[in-house]
């Protein structure tokens, strides 16, 4: 029993010695850790201050984010309106393109019709020019014929005038001879001495009259 107590005391002393040694080590470690703890506490305080600052910054970022979200919503609405406007403009552009194509086709048809009309007018002008040349030649020919006919008419009128003068002269002579014959008859001259044809002609000579 005594031996056991002694052994237990030895064991307890050893444990106490070990614990003392361990305590000294821990004390030494704690002494060496105190500066680190102080530094850590300073760091923690600094970090806490920074966290507070960061909180304010984060709150500001959150507010800015909300503002940006609101602006984005407005921009989305604006983009939706712009998309509608773009669609309307696209429809108007497509309609304008279609109308332009129709106008181009109409202009092409009009140009073709104008070309046909121009060619028809040119052909008609050529025909009219030919007819004008023919008419001019006919006028020149008829003018020449008219001049010739006028010359012939003038010559005929001159000849008629000469014949009229001759007729007047012959009529004067006939009247004179008739007057002389009547005077001789009245004076009682013998009819045997005067030829009957020279006294009173039965028929006066006929002369052609030119209208």
CB 134 within 8 A of CB 142: no
What sign has the CA pseudo-torsion 149, 151, 153, 156?
A: negative
Kindly state the DSSP code that residue 188 receives in the 8-state scheme: T
Q: What separation in angstroms does the CA of 167 have from each of 154, 171, 205, 207?
A: 19, 6, 9, 8
Note the Cα 34 to chain centre separation in Å. 95
CB 187 within 8 A of CB 160: no
What sign has the CA pseudo-torsion 6, 8, 13, 17?
A: positive
Q: How many angstroms separate the CA atoms of 76 and 169, rounded?
A: 130
* pLDDT tens by residue, the chain, 211 residues: 666 777 777 788 888 888 888 878 877 777 777 777 778 778 888 888 888 887 888 888 888 888 888 888 888 888 888 888 888 889 999 999 999 999 999 999 999 999 999 999 999 999 999 999 999 999 999 999 999 999 999 999 999 999 999 999 999 999 998 888 888 888 875 545 545 444 444 444 444 444 4
Q: Provide the strand spans (E) within the chain.
A: none
- What pTM did the predictor assign? 0.34
Q: How many angstroms separate the CA atoms of 17 and 11, rounded?
A: 10
Question: Residue 160: which H helix or E strand, with range?
Answer: helix 2-186
- For 129, how many CA atoms within 13 A lie in the half-sphere containing its CB? 6
- Among 169, 174, 159, which residue's Cα sits nearest to residue 208? 159
What sign has the CA pseudo-torsion 6, 7, 12, 17?
A: positive
Q: How many angstroms separate the CA atoms of 32 and 34, rounded?
A: 6
Q: How many angstroms separate the CA atoms of 183 and 152, rounded?
A: 45
Torsion of CA 88, 93, 98, 104, to 10 degrees: 160
Q: Quick one: pLDDT at residue 2?
A: 66
């Amino acid at each position: 029993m005594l031996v056991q107590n002694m052994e237990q005391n030895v064991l307890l002393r050893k444990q106490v010695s070990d614990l003392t040694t361990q305590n000294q080590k821990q004390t030494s470690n704690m002494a060496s850790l105190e500066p680190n703890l102080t530094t850590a506490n300073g760091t923690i305080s600094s970090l806490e201050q920074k966290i507070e600052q960061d909180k304010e910054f984060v709150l500001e970022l959150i507010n800015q984010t909300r503002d940006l979200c609101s602006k984005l919503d407005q921009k989305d609405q604006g983009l939706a309106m712009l998309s509608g406007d773009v669609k309307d403009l696209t429809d108007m552009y497509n309609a304008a393109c279609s109308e332009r194509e129709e106008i181009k086709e109409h202009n092409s048809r009009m140009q073709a019709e104008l070309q046909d009309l121009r060619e028809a007018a040119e052909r008609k002008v050529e025909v009219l020019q030919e007819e004008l040349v023919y008419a001019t030649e006919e006028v020149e020919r008829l003018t020449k014929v008219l001049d010739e006919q006028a010359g012939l008419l003038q010559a005929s009128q001159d000849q008629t005038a000469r014949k009229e003068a001759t007729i007047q002269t012959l009529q004067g002579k006939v009247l004179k001879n008739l007057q002389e014959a009547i005077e001789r008859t009245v004076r009682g001259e013998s009819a045997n001495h005067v030829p009957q044809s020279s006294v009173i002609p039965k028929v006066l000579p006929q002369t052609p009259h030119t209208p």
